[in-house]
Amino acid sequence: AHNSLWEMCLRTQHDVTARMALVPRTMEARGLDATPPMQARLRKVGTPAALRAVEILDVILRDEIGHVAVGNRWYGWLCAQQGIEPLGHYRRLAREHSAPRLKPPFNEPARRAAGFSDAELTAMHQA
Ligand SMILES: [Fe+2]
């Protein structure tokens, strides 16, 4: 873990829609992307401790999918309540709050499991 997650919490503290967009749906979702490459490196190391770490990361990944899913659910709900178009609003919020740029490789199965739509996954590749 690092401080950028908390910094984004502070930057979005006055706007719950921005919070959902940028903390679970951006910062935590990056954790979904980061896990498989990290696990691949640990498998190459191959020691019992490294292989145990791979298993632990599986548990963290599963939990994290749940956190991102909560963000997707509430972001969708908040946008619907306010009559906001979710994709365009996400881009505005990301710019306004200097969110980190989304970088491939994306963990598409995990992102789908967390509720990202086809349109959102396509937009991610064009970011
Ligand atoms: Fe989380």
61-85 pLDDT tens trace:
999 999 999 999 999 999 999 999 9
Percent residues over pLDDT 90 in the chain: 90
Reported as a pLDDT band with limits 50, 70 and 90, residue 127 is: low
Is 34:23 a contact under the CB 8 Å cutoff?
no
Smallest Cα–Cα separation from 12: which of 94, 114, 70?
94
Reported as a pLDDT band with limits 50, 70 and 90, residue 95 is: very high
Whole-angstrom Cα distance, residue 114 to residue 12?
Answer: 21
Statement: residue 22 has pLDDT above 90:
yes
Whole-angstrom Cα distance, residue 80 to residue 17?
Answer: 11
Query: Residue 27 Cα, ligand 1 centroid: separation in angstroms?
Result: 9
Query: Residue 107 Cα, ligand 1 centroid: separation in angstroms?
Result: 15
Locate tokens 């709900």: which residue?
A: 77
107-125 pLDDT tens trace:
999 999 999 999 999 998 8
